[in-house]
Amino acid sequence: MSDEAFNEIDFSRYQRWLNRAAGSEVALMVFNKSGVALWGADTAQATKIGLAIVAAGMGAAGLHRHDVDAGKTALYQSLGAANDGQLGWLAVMVDHFAEQEAPVLIDQLADAMDDLVAGIADAHRDKADLVMMTDELGQRYEELHLVYAVDEHMQNSEGENDEVFQSLLQSAVEHLDVDVVAFVRPSKDVCQHATSLRHDIHNLDLVLVEMRGDLYRFLQVSAETINLNAADDPRRAYIFTDMPYKVLACPVFADRKIDSMIVLLKHLHKPDFSNGDRKLAEVLANQLSSLSNAYLLMQSMRDFNRQMARALIEAVEAKDPYTRGHTERVHYLSMEIGRAMGLPADELEDLHWGSLLHDVGKIGVPDAVLCKPGRLTKDEYNFIKVHPERSYDILRHIKHLDKAVLGARHHQEMYDGKGYPHGLKGERIPLHGRIIAVPDTYDSITSSRAYRAGRSHEVAMAEIERVSGTQLDPAIVEVFKKIVATEPEWLRLFNIRRDKA
Q: What pLDDT is recorded for position 472?
A: 95
Q: Are 442 and 460 in contact (CB under 8 A)?
A: yes
Poorest-confidence range of 4-8, 61-65, 119-123, 303-307? 303-307
Condensed to tens digits (0 to 9), the pLDDT of residues 387-415 reads: 888 888 877 777 667 788 888 889 989 99
Supply the pLDDT for residue 41. Answer: 73
Asked if residue 442 has pLDDT above 90, the reply is: yes
- Please give the pLDDT value at position 305: 46
pLDDT at residue 16 above 90? no
pLDDT digits (tens, 9 = 90+) for 275-287: 778 887 887 777 7
Range ranked top by mean pLDDT from 10-19, 106-115, 364-373: 10-19
Name the band, by pLDDT with cuts 50, 70 and 90, for residue 159: very low
- Cα(first)–Cα(last) distance of the chain, in Å? 59
What's the CATH superfamily of 318-493?
Answer: Hypothetical protein af1432 (1.10.3210.10)
Segment 162-210, tens digit of pLDDT: 666 777 778 778 777 788 988 888 887 878 888 887 777 778 888 888 8
> Does 462 or 346 have the greater pLDDT score?
462
pLDDT value of residue 306: 52
Average pLDDT over residues 429-440: 94
> Three-state SS string across 26-70, please?
CEEEEEECCCCEEECCCCCCHHHHHHHHHHHCCCCCCEEEEECCC
**Buried b / exposed e along 31-57 (16+ C-beta atoms within 10 A):** bbbebebbbbeebebbeebbebbbeee
Containing 74, the helix (H) or strand (E) segment is strand 72-78
pLDDT > 70 in the chain, percent: 78
The answer to whether 181 and 172 are in contact (CB under 8 A) is: yes
Q: Which residue has the higher pLDDT, 486 or 256?
A: 486
Does the pLDDT at position 380 exceed 50? yes
Q: For residue 59, is pLDDT > 50? A: yes
Higher pLDDT, 217 or 277: 217
Work out the widest C-alpha separation in the chain, in whole angstroms.
Answer: 91
- Whole-number pLDDT of residue 14: 83
**Band (2; pLDDT cuts 50, 70, 90):** low
Q: Is the peptide bond before 421 cis (omega within 30 degrees of 0)?
A: yes
The helix-helix angle for 326-340 and 474-485 (nearest 10°) equals: 100
What would the mean pLDDT of 271-299 be, rounded to a whole number?
69
Q: What percent of the chain has pLDDT over 90?
A: 18
* pLDDT at residue number 42: 74
Closest C-alpha to 26, from 67, 75, 71, 87 = 75
- For residues 326-349, b (16+ Cβ closer than 10 Å) or e, as one string? bbbbbbbbbbbbbeeeebeeebeb
Cα separation, 147 vs 349, in Å, equals 14
- What is the pTM (predicted TM-score) of this model? 0.44
Residue predicted with more confidence, 60 or 286: 286
What CATH class does 2-125 carry? Answer: alpha beta
The number of C-alpha atoms within 13 Å of 7 and in the hemisphere containing its C-beta is 8
**CB burial class (10 A; 0-12, 13-18, 19+) of residue 385?**
middle
Which of the two residues, 116 and 381, has the higher pLDDT score?
116
Predicted confidence band at 348 (pLDDT cuts at 50, 70, 90)?
very high
Residue 500 has pLDDT above 60, yes or no: yes
pLDDT of residue 160: 47
**What is residue 295's predicted lDDT score, i.e. its pLDDT?**
41
What is the per-residue pLDDT for 135? 66
pLDDT at res. 344: 93
Position with higher pLDDT, 56 vs 334: 334
Condensed to tens digits (0 to 9), the pLDDT of residues 70-129 reads: 677 788 888 875 554 567 888 888 776 555 555 556 677 777 888 888 888 788 777 777
Q: Which stretch of 23-32, 248-257, 370-379, 484-493 has the lowest confidence by average pLDDT?
A: 370-379
- Whole-number pLDDT of residue 446: 92
The whole-number average pLDDT for the span 239-251 is 87
Q: 157-300, superfamily in CATH?
A: GAF domain (3.30.450.40)
Domain boundaries, the chain: 2-125, 157-300, 318-493
3 state SS of 415: coil
pLDDT of 233 over the 60 cut: yes
Nearest 5 degrees, angle CA 61-CA 66-CA 71? 145
pLDDT at 293: 47
192 bridge partner residues: 183
pLDDT for 1: 44
Least confident of 32-41, 198-207, 311-320, 466-475: 311-320
Same fold, 2-125 and 157-300: yes
